[in-house]
């Protein structure tokens, strides 16, 4: 395809989307009979959002990020694959690589200990994906990510876990808590003003790679946690809710090297083959 043709097609798309967006905005203005004073307030809100770098967050709370993710990756999902989910803005590259069994944190990390284990397999055949790499990141037990919290060490609760040749992975972590994505900025203020909260339910992020397979980016959610039914970005999908087993048997605790009851989550990830 010539360069000119590519540019013409791109412009065609831009023209189409801009026209539709203009129509949608005008419809709202007409329907709500927006007055000049309200328009000026909206403009100053958007200026503030820009100044604070919160346009991505605005897209998140409007539900646009999840919708676009669903449209973008719909072809990577079929009945047998693990559901994808948004990456979110808190991913960091180059987390330390650990051979499974690994740990996302030191042994004295505050919170309920959680062991995650399972297999990374082909959705089509059920065969294991040898040496799959699971890039995992999460907030701590009070809902803070290490890169936004001076009390945590660099890359705490982040690791790339290398599954074994049978696609088996295992790592130790703590059960994360939900957290506030508003944090006093203009988007958080908007949420408050319209009677919505800015909380995300607890979750663990995954980005999983296997040779000849499409990368799966997703999130898992502990069950029965606050805001599971009202995630501020609307990202909860039922099949991504974990089943946690609480283990209290002192013999099992000793085997796992923990001094308190702990949780186990068994979760297999099913990836789609590249064509």
Residue closer to Fe ion (CB basis): 124 or 241:
241
181 binds, among Fe ion, ligand BEZ, none (CB under 5 to 8 A by kind): ligand BEZ
Report, in Å, the least distance between residue 249 CB and ligand BEZ: 34
Residue closer to Fe ion (CB basis): 128 or 185:
185
Report, in Å, the least distance between residue 128 CB and ligand BEZ: 28
Residue closer to ligand BEZ (CB basis): 196 or 256:
196
Residue 213's closest CA among 142, 131, 135, 271? 271
Largest CA distance in the chain: 70
Applying CB under 6 A, the residues found at the interface with ligand BEZ are 57, 60, 88-90, 181, 200, 233
133: tokens are: 């790499």
178 binds Fe ion per the rule CB under 5 A: no
Residue closer to ligand BEZ (CB basis): 120 or 232:
232
Residue closer to ligand BEZ (CB basis): 57 or 265:
57
CA distances from 222 to 27, 63, 92, 173, 253 (A): 40, 21, 22, 13, 21
- Provide the H-helix boundaries in the chain: 3-32, 36-51, 55-61, 64-73, 186-193, 250-256
Cα(102)–Cα(161) distance, integer angstroms: 6
x/- binding map, residues 76-105, to Fe ion, per CB under 5 A? Answer: ------------x-----------------
Which pairing describes strands 179-180 and 199-200: parallel, antiparallel, or unpaired?
antiparallel
Residues that bind Fe ion (CB under 5 A): 88
């Amino acid at each position: 395809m010539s360069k000119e043709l590519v540019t013409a097609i791109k412009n065609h798309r831009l023209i189409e989307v801009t026209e539709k967006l203009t129509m949608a905005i005008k419809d709202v203005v007409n329907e709500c009979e927006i007055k000049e004073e309200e328009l000026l307030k909206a403009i100053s809100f958007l200026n503030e959002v820009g100044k604070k770098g919160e346009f991505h967050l605005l897209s998140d709370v409007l539900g646009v990020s999840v919708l676009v993710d669903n449209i973008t990756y719909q072809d990577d999902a079929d009945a047998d694959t693990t559901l994808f989910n948004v990456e979110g803005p808190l991913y960091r590259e180059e987390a330390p690589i650990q051979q499974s069994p690994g740990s996302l944190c030191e042994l004295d990390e505050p919170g309920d200990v959680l062991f995650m284990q399972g297999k990374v397999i082909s959705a089509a055949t059920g065969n294991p994906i040898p040496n799959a790499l699971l890039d995992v990141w999460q907030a701590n037990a009070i809902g803070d990510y290490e890169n936004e919290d001076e009390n945590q060490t660099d890359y705490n609760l982040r690791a790339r876990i290398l599954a074994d040749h049978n696609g088996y992975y295992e790592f130790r972590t703590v059960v994360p808590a939900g957290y506030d994505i508003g944090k006093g900025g203009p988007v958080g203020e908007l949420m408050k003003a319209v009677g919505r909260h800015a909380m995300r339910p607890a979750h663990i992020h995954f980005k999983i790679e296997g040779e000849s397979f499409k990368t799966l980016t997703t999130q898992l959610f502990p069950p029965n946690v606050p805001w599971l039914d009202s995630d501020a970005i609307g990202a909860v999908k039922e099949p991504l809710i974990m089943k946690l087993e609480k283990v209290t048997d002192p013999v099992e605790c000793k085997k796992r090297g923990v001094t308190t009851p702990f949780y186990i989550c068994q979760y297999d990830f099913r990836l789609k083959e590249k064509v």
